Structure 1
Amino acid sequence: MMLDNLALFLRIVEKGGLAAAGRDFGLSPATVSERLAALEAHYGATLLTRTTRAISLTDEGRLLVEGARRLVADAEDLENRIRLGTERISGPIRLSAPEDLGRHRVVPVIDAFLIAHPEVTIDLNLTDGYVDLVGQGIDFAIRQGTLADSTLRARAIGEHRRVVCAAPSYLDAHGSPEHPEELAQHLCIVMRFGQNLDREWPFMINGKIRKFMVNSRRIANDGALVRHWCKSGFGIALKSERDVEEDLASGALVELLGEFSASRTSLQIVYPSAIAQPRRVRMLIDELAAALAPTMR
């Protein structure tokens, strides 16, 4: 019963409400409230702060989320090993990935993984924004750039160049910049990361990195949209090479200012440090890490 109550508690946190969690478990709101109260009585602490509009975790509740996910995952893993045998896996995997990278590079790996393991389910959250892994019940996330959350563990996959690129139609209409200083006279497409605009682009000039401010009429927090606008001829973009390598190979996009290239971005798989990962999660992480690793050039 304790494990059931812990699983229900985790679902309340993931869904953001008692009623939604109850629907998932086939329980009435009153029953959910009773079981949450029993859990709080067992630990002698308030786990959730509830208002008419939202719920939030107390310090004790956040601590329990980390421990409960580990216990529930271990129990599921043990049950699957006994029921299915050590060679088969089942159960849910929840992950997050950037929009553009997710659609073009992560989804094909997931599709193959689901075919190979028919009793596994995938819940994929595609976003270029911040994701609270613990609060949203996500097993791991694929992230680009520097890891800001020190409570997470990270598995480095490697670095890729960021390339300045544009569609041939844009270059036919506006010409091609020969030096980073000329970007100020061009239309550029800028990516937003949270509250930050990526409008200072770095280049190697005479052996030193200099940043050049670019102008833009199009700003988006969706990498796939930035790529679409760029391919449609609306401006020049700074994209990870892994996101546009097919477009560059096909000629849909053209790399610019390559001799001044200095920008690189790291790719990592991050996950909560206090949570033991079920074998199914570890297996998918291994396959994604292999598929997303940069190739030797």
Structure 2
Amino acid sequence: MATMHQLTTARHFRTLFISDVHLGSKAAQAELLVDFLRVHDAEKIYLVGDIVDGWRLKRSWHWPQAHNDVVQKLLRKARKGASVIYVPGNHDEFLRDFPGQHFGGVEVKLTDIHVTADGRRFLVIHGDAFDVVVRNARVIAYLGDWAYDAAIAINVVFNVVRRRLGFPYWSISSWAKLKVKNAVNFIGAFETALAEEARKHDCEGVICGHIHHAQLTTHDGIEYVNTGDWVESCTAVAERHDGSFELIRWTETARERLPKGEREAYAADTAPSSAAEAA
């Protein structure tokens, strides 16, 4: 696979925000995250929940070398002086029993207030507490998690066909989230609820994850930042040194910076190669 560290020099930010990696899941795009971390550095790194997928690991153990590489890369950044803060989500909720603890230089916090370079306050929270399904019906949440796995597997088969026809990777589930009315309504309600929570904490904005939908937007004067995920979209949010935010879509960035003749090969490499890998 062609990798971004071969294509560009490292970028340095004040803060990086990453969530929903789902290490332990076969759908986690750990290789791409390792590649991203090679060429992105920051003074502070927030892991905004669901970095490790405890739900899936309970069902079956899956932990290849690339998942170790992600952990080692983050620990190395902490050793080199980066402040690494882990805000657990629902899939790694076992870490919520250890607020204030440090593991290899990584500090666990249930939530945090991040102050940007230009003085704005942002509530950092995974966001599952504002998902009615997760909060009130855990059985339904588990069924939804299974359905998401199934959608990813279908998506892999679909993209095998697209790849052979010369088309780039495309996510069915991401498209469905934006097109299905109930999904659109859920995303909007989630964003509004998180914005209101930020207001309660006297913050100008909120930074969250959970719904795998990267976004930089505003709700009634409150800035809403969602970091997306590293299962489908491979996105992260960076705070520049002037306090402004940038949404990084890693697979798009990598493909655009490759020489023209290598773009199709890279697009093929960035998607799982079989349904078994994503199930």
Which TM-score band applies after superposition, normalised by the shorter structure? under 0.3
Q: Output the TM-score relative to the length of structure 2.
A: 0.25
Q: Output the TM-score relative to the length of structure 1.
A: 0.24
Structure with the higher fraction of residues in strand conformation: 1
